[in-house]
Structure 1
Amino acid sequence: MTAQPPVSVVIATCDRPGKLERAVRAVLDQDYAGSVQCLVVYDGVEVRPLAVDVPPGRELVHLANARTKGLPGGRNTGCDAASGELLAFCDDDDCWQPDKLRRQVEALLADPAGVAVTCGVRLAGPGIDRDRPGPTRPVTLDDLLADRIMEVHPSTLLVPRSTVAAAGPVDEDIPGGYAEDYEWLLRIAALGPIAVVPAPLVVVEWHGGSFFFGRWATIVDALRYLLERHPEFARSKHGTARIRGQIAFALAASGRRREALRELRTVARLNPAEKRIAATMPVLAGLVSGERVLALAQSRGRGV
């Protein structure tokens, strides 16, 4: 890797005027001395050239999603067109701190064993403004099987092109594109440790909802797909219980009570302390909706 490797940043978007410009400016205004290419990939909407200043040493590219409709296809379209030695993603409603790239490149250069580098995040939104520092040591595949580690977020990752080539593209077949970032991350971590800059270098907009809010059937199908694609979950009882607990919750929230109970029995055998058992039971009993439980968790900067 060169001392100041060129970086390509992919922002896949359905277009959010104002927020998209903010994300792009934060990428182009990095204090990194190397070149930065920002690729804005429009998915399902007309390409809209952005009226933002492009400083020297920076490039702004606008293009349409040429692959499967959805976030995975948009990200892969950007990767296909990227020219940088290092690759990053940024969600269109997130915002990088000015020193993100510089500090992450320094961390990669200092850790030849690292296959990628992540950082901490700041959650910002209605009722929340909280720093979530990244892990204090490199993140391994076993770490990610046991826990999703939300700080290892798509907008935090910086990945050498050699890692991208070895891991393969973002999975466009995962149902609904749900958890595509986590699935890709597992393949990256299988190649080696992920270095960490613990500082919160990305501001993640946390608005208590997502594209998948209430899309329970899609969540069930995607998580079952994830377990099937990654048999290495078998070596982590806690990790398997976590995923199957999420499946049980989504089944309960969608009214599929018998299936949810079967999943919960499996979860209890794997890890009786799995917190999603307690989250699912009142939904099964009809005391509260799945949407209400999820909204409460998200108001505290968490998921289910």
Structure 2
Amino acid sequence: MADLPACPPPATSGTVTRSSGPGAAEAVGVYPPVSVIVATLDRPGLLERTVAGILGQNYPGTIECLVVYDHVPVRELDLPTGPNRTLKVIANARRPGLPGGRNSGVDAATGELLAFCDDDDVWLPAKLSRQVARLADPAVGAVSCGLRLRGPGIDAERVLDRSWVTFDELLRDRIMEVHSSTILIRRSTWSAAGEVDEEIPGGYSEDYDWLLRVAAQAPIAVCPQALVIVDWHGGSFYFGRWTTVVEAQRYLIRKHPALASSRAGLARIRGQIAFALASGGRRTEAVRELAAVLRLNPAEVRVPVTVLVILGLVTGERVLRMAQKRGRGV
């Protein structure tokens, strides 16, 4: 596959062009309307900051921001909208949790393009302009961008040195830079990939599952600039929820048989299962899982830390905290 072009600068006119055949292009009129879904349990202050970043984009087209309250009281937000900007607050009408909230937002969205933002992350002003320009290429169904991790003790950019991320690459590695708050996707690609899975245990790895399905449609393009600030607070919703991690990762393996085609990718996920089993005190199961990991990939990086947890020399929570201080997961 030929290299896709690098992400262009923000557009300056009111139209974008899209190829209609070899050597031909046609104007498609106004900038396509974008719907941005923010699923939230309501975090006053942080939520307003997130929404302000969305409404404050320099994108000339229409932006519809939908804040989806996840089975908590719906609160109106007192924020200026401005021309071509609308703000809607709705309740999650689906299963409680992040997947249901995002799906409820898409159900109510009207835009041709869809995007998501976590309720504590912040978009920089040029995000949508740069990404919509990349979507002018009809071969691109979804586009990501770089990010900046910012929180106690960390302020670091994570920008990929490539123009796209393929399905095979995502099988091998989660690629944390392709973050849910960075994705802009065509509605047609959303429909082809399917909605966020509400059945995955605890919602764990729901973003990775969805991204695999998106990348199976076409490579995910990448704008090589950090256009999203990810609030990295050094904690995790899944601290101590080791059984949920085990169940969700096993669910993921069953759902995506293609993972078996990547020994490194399968070893990574089974390494996470082994780590969670050890951290939850299920040492005998962890040893069996670790043996399978070693057969798949003896160099899997989770093997040494899992051994330490099995031996009782360190807790899983401590390992996870140390990793997150460096801007990583386990």
Q: Give the TM-score normalised by the residue count of structure 1.
A: 0.98
Q: 1:78 aligns with which of 83, 105, 123?
A: 105
Once the 2 structures are TM-superposed, how far is the Cα of residue 137 of structure 1 from its aligned partner? 2.3
Q: Which residue of 2 aligns with 1:26?
A: 53
| Structure 1 unmatched ranges of 5 or more | none
Matched, 1:202 2:249: no
Q: Which residue of 2 aligns with 1:126?
A: 152
Q: Which residue of 1 aligns with 2:69?
A: 42
Once the 2 structures are TM-superposed, how far is the Cα of residue 100 of structure 1 from its aligned partner? 0.1
SS in 1 for 2:76: coil
Structure 1 counterpart of 2:247, one-letter code: D
Contact 1:121 1:134 in 2 (8 A): no
Q: 2:208 aligns with which of 178, 182, 196?
A: 182
Structure 1 counterpart of 2:166, one-letter code: T
In the alignment of these two chains, the number of paired residues is 303
Matched, 1:104 2:131: yes
Identity of aligned residues (%): 64
After superposition, give the CA deviation of every residue in 1:70-117 in whole Å (9 maximum; x if it has no partner): 0000000000000000000000000000000000011111x3211200
Q: Which residue of 2 aligns with 1:63?
A: 90
Q: 1:89 aligns with which of 116, 120, 142?
A: 116
SS in 2 for 1:155: helix
Counterpart Cα distance in 2 of 1:143 and 1:233: 11
Q: Which residue of 2 aligns with 1:216?
A: 242
Structure 1 counterpart of 2:311, one-letter code: A
Q: Give the TM-score normalised by the residue count of structure 2.
A: 0.91
SS in 2 for 1:286: coil
Structure 1 counterpart of 2:54, one-letter code: V
Counterpart Cα distance in 2 of 1:118 and 1:65: 25
Once the 2 structures are TM-superposed, how far is the Cα of residue 11 of structure 1 from its aligned partner? 0.1
Counterpart Cα distance in 1 of 2:220 and 2:213: 12
Larger Rg: 2
Counterpart Cα distance in 2 of 1:212 and 1:38: 28
Counterpart Cα distance in 2 of 1:15 and 1:279: 35
Point out 4+ residue stretches in structure 1 off by more than 3 angstroms.
none
Q: 1:193 aligns with which of 219, 242, 245?
A: 219
SS in 2 for 1:66: coil
Counterpart Cα distance in 1 of 2:202 and 2:75: 25
After superposition, give the CA deviation of every residue in 1:106-161 in whole Å (9 maximum; x if it has no partner): 1111x321120000000000000000013412111000000000010000000000
- What's the Cα RMSD here? 0.8
Q: Which residue of 1 aligns with 2:5?
A: none
After superposition, give the CA deviation of every residue in 1:163-198 in whole Å (9 maximum; x if it has no partner): 011111100000001110110000000001111101
